[in-house]
Chain A
Amino acid sequence: QSALTQPPSASGSPGQSVTISCTGTSSDVGGYNFVSWYQQHPGKAPKLMIYEVTKRPSGVPHRFSGSKSGNTASLTVSGLQAEDEADYYCSSYAGSDNYVFGTGTKVTVL
């Protein structure tokens, strides 16, 4: 199972939007609506931000949103804030109780 492909970095000024892509195959991202996104600050455990492609857990700000088209999922952070600077990882169910993570994207708030 190969890792999902994410851009290594993305950036934006405070208040702007940034979108991160996550490209897989028809065996994972394209085959299931079980894509999730995680935020990880340095030295901390990941935190669930989006599940089932578009859904936000309680407590996650509305400026985090997710979408999917074909084999590519995306996470958009609108109205960037300083605390959004972190690493972001996508994950997808890949069938038969297997899962795969993305390569990770470092988001910088300029």
Chain B
Amino acid sequence: QVQLVQSGAEVKKPGASVKVSCKASGYTFTDYYMHWVRQAPGQGLEWMGIINPSVLATTYAQKFQGRVSMTRDTSTSTVYMELSSLRSEDTAVYYCARVGGVAAPLAFDIWGQGTMVTVFS
């Protein structure tokens, strides 16, 4: 079945970087864009950016530009999100989410299980 499986929880110190992975299965990896969305504890969803795995094109939310990098490995059908210069406000659950293509245009139809990133000194 179609699924996205993310890497495990991370604990980082302020100023460090974190890299979260999202492995896709059950569909053709390069046919669908992938997004990253985060959710701070008790807060709402926040869109971070998008990667086109086919051509490695990316678009980042203005808030994260300069601090975020989204990459992919087509050989393992995995996308990565790296966030640098971490601060306490980056403590959140980070989700990867697939955009549904022709079945659900510009909507996030499949989500990963989420990765908790905790930033504290």
Question: How far does the Cβ of A50 sit from chain B's closest Cβ, in whole Å?
Answer: 8
- Determine which of A40, A89, A99, A102 lies in contact with B50 in the assembled complex, contact meaning CB atoms within 8 Å: A99
Interface size on A, residues (CB 8 A): 27
Q: Say whether B47 contacts A100, CB under 8 Å.
A: yes
Count A/B pairs, Cβ under 8 Å. 72
Question: How far does the Cβ of B48 sit from chain A's closest Cβ, in whole Å?
Answer: 10
Considering the complex, give the chain A residue whose CB is closest to the CB of B103. Answer: A57
What separation, in Å, do the CA atoms of A15 and B106 have in the docked complex?
32
Q: Say whether A1 contacts B62, CB under 8 Å.
A: yes
Q: Say whether A98 contacts B111, CB under 8 Å.
A: no
Question: How far does the Cβ of B113 sit from chain A's closest Cβ, in whole Å?
Answer: 6
Hey, which chain B residues are within 8 Å of A47, CB to CB? Answer: 111
Q: Say whether B108 contacts A36, CB under 8 Å.
A: yes
Question: How far does the Cβ of B55 sit from chain A's closest Cβ, in whole Å?
Answer: 13
Q: Is A18 located at the chain interface by the 8 A CB criterion?
A: no
B interface residue count range (under 10 / 10 to 19 / 20 to 34 / 35 or more): 20 to 34
What separation, in Å, do the CA atoms of A100 and B49 have in the docked complex?
10
Q: Say whether B59 contacts A34, CB under 8 Å.
A: no
Hey, which chain A residues are within 8 Å of B45, CB to CB? Answer: 38, 40, 46, 89, 91, 101, 104
Q: Is B104 located at the chain interface by the 8 A CB criterion?
A: yes
- Determine which of A34, A96, A99 lies in contact with B47 in the assembled complex, contact meaning CB atoms within 8 Å: A99
What separation, in Å, do the CA atoms of A51 and B47 have in the docked complex?
17
Which A residues are closer than 8 A to B by beta carbons? Answer: 1, 3, 32, 34, 36, 38, 40, 45-48, 51-52, 55, 57, 89, 91, 93, 96-104
